[in-house]
């Protein structure tokens, strides 16, 4: 046997701690939280599926200068000193493996600054965690850890995560992780940035309820109740928010457990036993099968002494080992029973299912029998819910714990044989009463208890024929007259009832009357509130309404109901209207017969007209002499005109919106819109200024971002405004401003200390970014560009071309002769002879033919045309 090299040992152990992108983010976030950070930003770039760059920035205490030498060396930590400290652990990290394990599988750089430091320092680390190089940085207090080329020396794992599907999964896991810490840390500000776009963020809030509102939304939190439970021996405290009993499961649950948040001593964990118990008690109140496979939207915060928790169970610390697990599950069972009540007999109890995992003794408190006090408990529990408005522990301590403690004391030994036989008989009767799908489809599911024959769904009774048929007819007719649909309905079944062809509004409930008035008040107080926010506010106000005010609305609703019943009786007394009017109303809607015949004739004659041959268009031959045309064109070319370069307008082609011009001895066809397009584009390149919009997160500019120190120096030498009070100055160089960049410079004592950042950028150009700024600086450094036109990036140029086309299309289609002459004059002055094409590369002038110089050439041309 041979001992493995230290590098191999380090790689093998690190690859077990850092298994995915989410592991990297979790370890760095927990380090930031242990450093007392109140703000944290996660930058993740999808270059090479997110494996090439991950950055976590915080505003914590920072790393002291004397500790930076060993900050990434394995098993160096400031959290604990010995294994005895684990019994008093209050931090997330304690092993000293996170940063060292990341260094073993990636390239890591750390920028840190404490309150005592004057400037921040950037450290570059090698695969052993040792510092390779360091240099000053411009960032403020806190720590920024950048992870580059993750899994560079683990090709199989890097290939596993190199797919679009895995990239999306890791992004979703990151968001779930941030949501968990955002809920348990209300005073923490979190931001998730993916490819420079803010994907998710949460501001600093006051309490856990506000944190849930910021992460899950108002609609989900509106159906959650705050709960608290405290047990002294052993010491267990349960806090959280749970779905209201009887609430709609579609709004209080989901198909996966990503919205069931469980924390043990403020640490997000995955506890299968606790999740199963929560799910069983929540779903037991719903009889629908779809609800049984859902997970409740809930937050459970478990607080126990640190000495009774073993956190060092898995590398990612998402699973913990509890010393008093049975006592915790019992306390949670008591708490959930006081909230949701006991489950029916048909449901599998949680105690039996948990018994397979926890294997308690026969006298375990989990194996209880509470069916004797079920009815009493349900009555008392309803009263507790009504009295405490969701403060269930107080209500539970009054009656729920008493009943459960009685049942727990008796245990399974209190079950008598007679009672077991009764339970077996009742379960047999229940299974016997169940209807199978096969019996139901055959029609034999329901039988007559007397004859034992299947019940018939419909049985028609026909009266016997006798001499009293007239009486029967008269009686049926009288019954038909007395029938009224209004008398067969209740007022509360529908919102509107049709009474004598008049719409009658159903009476409003007290809550509806209050909502009608309260909605107006909420909208006056907050005009920008959404419908969802208004509904939640009105619902909260109705819950907190005083008793005397509530009675007023109940009296109003009672008056509405009396008025509705009175109108209903009046409509019933009138009876239905005569049916003879119905055909008259129907006949009025029909088209008159004469008009229908006329329409038939028109439509039937239309196809015949299409079949006829079109009439010949009138034409008249006109005399044409090419010799006379040649003389006229020669006379036109000898005339003086304001149009340059000997261009003479002949006439306009109305069908094509083009002009025939004479250029020397050639006839040309001019498209004036192409000329206007080119002139507009040239003017936009020279003078247009793209409007800049302020960025929520300014972009830091360094030598690496801009492409080198030469580019940074060229940028700093550009024209700037007068400095502000803090010493910062904005660039006013038109080459930057016209392209939509607003850059601020904060000078320092040296070139390394100066701070450059983009504070605003044009949003009208799609995907405009730092690479376009680099393109501007390239034109300045290498092309010696001094004008705005020479410094336009490709994206800006394409955008201005589209604007020129859009403006050219807004010109009138029929241009006058003066307008076309002015266009030709501007074409000669601004474009010159070198630029004779439009934006799309098409020529302004198209050659038609040459003017014949002699009569023989004119005759030859005429013979070719004929």
What residue has token string 């939509």?
740
Q: Is the dihedral of CA 587, 588, 593, 598 positive or negative?
A: negative
Terminal alpha carbon distance of the chain = 104
Nearest alpha-carbon partner for 848 in 658, 643, 616, 618: 658
Peptide bond into 373 cis (omega under 30): no
Given a cut of 70, whether residue 650 has pLDDT beyond it is yes
* Most confident residue range from 194-208, 357-371, 493-507: 194-208
Given a cut of 60, whether residue 302 has pLDDT beyond it is yes
Q: Is 697 left (phi over 0), alpha (psi -120 to 50) or beta?
A: beta
- What one-character DSSP code corresponds to residue 70? G
What average pLDDT score do residues 440-454 get? 71
Binned at pLDDT 50, 70 and 90, residue 193 comes out as confident
pLDDT score at 795: 92
pLDDT score at 415: 38
pLDDT score at 417: 40
pLDDT score at 403: 38
Give the tens place of pLDDT for each residue, 42-85: 988 766 666 778 899 999 999 998 888 888 887 777 777 776 66
What average pLDDT score do residues 403-428 get? 41
Q: In sequence order, what DSSP letters do the residues of 749-801 get, joined into one string? A: SSTTT-EEEEEEEESSSTT--HHHHHHHHHHHHTS---STGGG--HHHHHHHH
Say how far apart CA 652 and CA 673 lie, in whole Å. 13
Give the tens place of pLDDT for each residue, 500-535: 445 556 778 888 888 888 888 888 788 777 888 888
What average pLDDT score do residues 296-315 get? 86
Higher pLDDT, 249 or 185: 185
* Most confident residue range from 44-48, 582-586, 787-791: 787-791
Q: Is the dihedral of CA 823, 829, 833, 838 positive or negative?
A: negative
Given a cut of 80, whether residue 138 has pLDDT beyond it is yes
Of all helices (H) and strands (E), which one includes residue 521?
Answer: helix 510-525
Q: How many CA atoms lie within 13 A of 455 on its CB side?
A: 9
Binned at pLDDT 50, 70 and 90, residue 86 comes out as low
Binned at pLDDT 50, 70 and 90, residue 573 comes out as low
Given a cut of 90, whether residue 475 has pLDDT beyond it is no
Question: 38 and 188 in contact (C-beta within 8 Å)?
Answer: yes
pLDDT score at 12: 62
Three-class DSSP category at 649: strand
Given a cut of 60, whether residue 283 has pLDDT beyond it is yes
What average pLDDT score do residues 437-450 get? 70
pLDDT score at 248: 84
Say how far apart CA 687 and CA 734 lie, in whole Å. 10
CA 52, distance to chain mean position in Å, is 26
Give the tens place of pLDDT for each residue, 200-255: 888 989 899 999 988 888 888 888 999 998 888 888 999 999 998 888 888 888 88
Q: In sequence order, what DSSP letters do the residues of 74-130 get, joined into one string? A: TT--SS-SSGGGGGG--SS--SS-HHHHHHHHSEEEEEEE-SS-SSEEEEEE-TTS-
Give the tens place of pLDDT for each residue, 326-361: 888 988 888 888 888 765 444 443 333 433 333 333
Mean pLDDT of the chain: 75
Binned at pLDDT 50, 70 and 90, residue 581 comes out as very low
Say how far apart CA 327 and CA 774 lie, in whole Å. 64
Binned at pLDDT 50, 70 and 90, residue 268 comes out as very high
* % of the chain with per-residue pLDDT over 90: 17
Given a cut of 90, whether residue 261 has pLDDT beyond it is yes
Provide the whole-model pTM. Answer: 0.43
Binned at pLDDT 50, 70 and 90, residue 152 comes out as confident
Say how far apart CA 139 and CA 141 lie, in whole Å. 7
User: Both tokens of residue 326?
Assistant: 């049975």
Say how far apart CA 802 and CA 688 lie, in whole Å. 13
Question: 131 and 123 in contact (C-beta within 8 Å)?
Answer: yes
Given a cut of 90, whether residue 404 has pLDDT beyond it is no
Binned at pLDDT 50, 70 and 90, residue 165 comes out as confident
pLDDT score at 242: 92
Least confident of 22-36, 61-75, 601-615, 833-847: 601-615
Angle at 747 between CA 745 and CA 749, to 5 degrees: 160
Give the tens place of pLDDT for each residue, 712-724: 889 998 998 888 8
Beta-bridged to residue 236, according to DSSP, are: 231
CA 270, distance to chain mean position in Å, is 26
* % of the chain with per-residue pLDDT over 70: 68
Collect contacts of 623-632 with beta carbons under 8 A, ≥24 apart.
Answer: 626/852, 626/858, 626/859, 626/861, 626/862, 627/855, 627/858, 630/851, 630/852, 630/853, 630/858
Given a cut of 80, whether residue 30 has pLDDT beyond it is yes
Nearest alpha-carbon partner for 40 in 169, 176, 204, 167: 204
pLDDT score at 51: 74
Say how far apart CA 844 and CA 75 lie, in whole Å. 76
Beta-bridged to residue 499, according to DSSP, are: 502
Beta-bridged to residue 148, according to DSSP, are: 53, 107
Residues 6+ apart with CB under 8 A from 223: 243, 244, 247, 248, 251, 252, 297
pLDDT score at 312: 75
pLDDT score at 861: 66
Higher pLDDT, 332 or 866: 332
Given a cut of 90, whether residue 300 has pLDDT beyond it is yes
Question: 99 and 127 in contact (C-beta within 8 Å)?
Answer: no
- What one-character DSSP code corresponds to residue 376? H
Given a cut of 50, whether residue 380 has pLDDT beyond it is no
Binned at pLDDT 50, 70 and 90, residue 865 comes out as low
* Most confident residue range from 123-137, 366-380, 823-837: 123-137
pLDDT score at 411: 40
Q: Within a 10 A sphere around the Cβ of 542, how many other Cβ atoms? A: 16
pLDDT score at 212: 92
Given a cut of 80, whether residue 762 has pLDDT beyond it is yes
Beta-bridged to residue 504, according to DSSP, are: 497
Nearest alpha-carbon partner for 671 in 815, 497, 525, 851: 815
Nearest alpha-carbon partner for 173 in 25, 377, 346, 381: 25
Q: In sequence order, what DSSP letters do the residues of 482-497 get, joined into one string? A: H--TTTTS-TTS-SEE
- What one-character DSSP code corresponds to residue 375? H
Binned at pLDDT 50, 70 and 90, residue 634 comes out as low
Q: Within a 10 A sphere around the Cβ of 207, how many other Cβ atoms? A: 11
For 733, phi then psi, to 5°, come to -60, 130
Higher pLDDT, 609 or 177: 177
What average pLDDT score do residues 743-761 get? 82
CA 201, distance to chain mean position in Å, is 12
User: Both tokens of residue 236?
Assistant: 């267990």
Angle at 756 between CA 741 and CA 748, to 5 degrees: 145
Give every strand in the sheet of 692-701, ordered side by side: 692-701, 755-762, 741-746, 729-730
Say how far apart CA 863 and CA 477 lie, in whole Å. 98
Given a cut of 70, whether residue 864 has pLDDT beyond it is no
What pairing do the DSSP bridges indicate for beta strands 298-303 and 260-264? parallel
């Amino acid at each position: 046997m041979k001992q493995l090299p230290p590098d191999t040992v380090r790689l093998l152990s690190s690859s077990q701690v850092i298994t995915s992108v989410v592991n990297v983010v979790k370890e760095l976030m927990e380090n930031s939280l242990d450093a007392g950070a109140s703000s944290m930003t996660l930058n993740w770039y999808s270059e090479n599926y997110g494996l090439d760059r991950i950055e976590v920035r915080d505003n914590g205490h920072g790393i002291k200068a004397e500790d930076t030498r060993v900050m990434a060396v394995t098993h160096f930590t400031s959290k604990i000193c010995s294994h005895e400290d684990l019994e008093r652990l209050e931090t997330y990290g304690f092993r000293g493996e996170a940063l060292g394990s990341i260094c073993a599988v990636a390239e890591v750089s750390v920028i840190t600054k404490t309150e005592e430091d004057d400037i921040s320092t950037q450290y570059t680390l090698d695969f052993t965690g040792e510092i390779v190089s360091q240099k000053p940085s411009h960032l403020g207090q806190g720590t920024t850890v950048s992870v580059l080329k993750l899994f560079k020396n683990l090709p199989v794992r890097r290939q596993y995560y190199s797919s679009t599907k895995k990239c999306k999964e890791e992004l979703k896991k990151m968001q779930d992780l941030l949501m968990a810490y955002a809920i348990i840390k209300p005073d923490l500000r979190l931001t998730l940035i993916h490819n420079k776009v803010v994907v998710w963020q949460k501001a600093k809030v006051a309490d856990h309820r506000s944190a849930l509102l910021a992460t899950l939304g108002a609609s989900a939190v509106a159906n959650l109740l705050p709960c608290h439970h405290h047990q002294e021996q052993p010491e267990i405290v349960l806090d959280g928010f749970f779905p209201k009993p009887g609430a709609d499961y579609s709004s209080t649950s989901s198909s996966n457990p990503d919205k069931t948040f469980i924390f043990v001593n403020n640490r997000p964990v995955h506890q299968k036993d606790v999740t199963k118990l929560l799910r069983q008690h929540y779903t037991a109140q719903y009889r629908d099968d779809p609800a049984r496979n859902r997970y409740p939207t809930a937050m459970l915060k478990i607080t126990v002494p640190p000495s009774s928790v073993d956190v060092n169970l898995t590398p990612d610390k998402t699973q913990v080992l509890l010393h008093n697990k049975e006592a915790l599950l019992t306390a949670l069972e008591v708490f959930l029973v006081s909230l949701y009540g006991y489950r029916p007999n048909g449901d599998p109890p949680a105690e039996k299912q948990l018994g397979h995992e926890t294997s308690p003794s026969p006298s375990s408190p989990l194996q209880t029998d509470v069916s004797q006090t079920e009815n009493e408990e349900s009555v008392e529990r309803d009263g507790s819910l009504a009295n405490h408005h969701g403060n269930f522990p107080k209500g539970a301590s009054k009656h729920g714990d008493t009943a459960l403690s009685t049942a727990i004391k008796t245990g399974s030994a209190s079950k008598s044989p007679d009672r077991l036989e009764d339970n077996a008989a009742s379960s047999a009767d229940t299974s016997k009463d169940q209807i199978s799908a096969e019996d139901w489809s055959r029609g034999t599911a329901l039988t007559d208890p007397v004859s034992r024959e299947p019940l018939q769904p419909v049985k028609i009774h026909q009266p016997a024929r006798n001499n009293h048929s007239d009486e029967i007819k008269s009686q049926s007719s009288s019954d038909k007259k007395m029938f009224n649909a209004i008398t067969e309905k209740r007022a509360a079944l529908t919102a509107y009832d049709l009474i004598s062809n008049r719409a009658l509004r159903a009476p409003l409930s007290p809550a509806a009357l209050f909502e009608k008035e309260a909605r107006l008040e909420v909208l006056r107080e907050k005009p920008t509130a959404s419908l969802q926010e208004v509904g939640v506010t009105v619902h909260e106000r109705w819950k907190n309404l005083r008793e005397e005010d509530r009675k007023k609305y109940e009296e109003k609703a009672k008056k509405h109901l009396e008025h509705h019943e009175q109108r209903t009786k009046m409509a019933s007394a009138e009876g239905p209207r005569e049916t003879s009017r119905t055909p008259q109303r129907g006949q009025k809607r029909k088209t008159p017969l004469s008009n229908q015949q006329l329409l038939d004739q028109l439509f039937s004659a239309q196809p015949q007209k299409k079949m006829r041959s079109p009439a010949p268009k009138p034409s008249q031959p006109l005399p044409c002499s090419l010799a006379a045309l040649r003389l006229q064109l020669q006379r036109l070319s000898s005339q003086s005109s304001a149009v340059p370069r000997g261009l003479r307008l002949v006439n306009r082609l109305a069908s094509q919106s083009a002009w025939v011009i004479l250029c020397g001895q050639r006839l040309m066809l001019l498209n004036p819109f192409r000329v206007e397009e080119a002139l507009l584009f040239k003017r936009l390149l020279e003078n247009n200024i793209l409007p800049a919009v302020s960025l929520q997160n300014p972009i830091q500019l360094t030598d690496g971002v801009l492409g080198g120190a030469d580019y940074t120096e060229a940028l700093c030498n550009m024209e700037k405004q007068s400095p502000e009070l803090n010493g910062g100055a904005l660039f006013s160089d038109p080459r930057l401003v016209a392209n939509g960049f607003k850059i601020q410079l904060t000078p320092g004592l040296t070139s390394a200390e100066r701070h450059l950042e983009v504070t605003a950028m044009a949003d009208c150009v799609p995907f405009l970014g730092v690479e376009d700024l680099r393109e501007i600086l390239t034109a300045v450094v290498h092309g010696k560009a001094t004008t705005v036109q020479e410094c336009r990036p490709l994206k800006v140029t394409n955008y201005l071309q589209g604007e020129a086309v859009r403006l050219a299309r807004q010109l009138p289609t029929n241009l006058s002769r003066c307008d076309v002459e002015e266009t030709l004059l501007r074409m000669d002055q601004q474009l010159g002879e070198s630029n004779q094409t439009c934006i799309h590369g098409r020529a302004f002038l198209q050659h038609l033919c040459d003017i014949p110089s002699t009569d023989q050439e004119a005759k030859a041309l005429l013979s070719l045309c004929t």
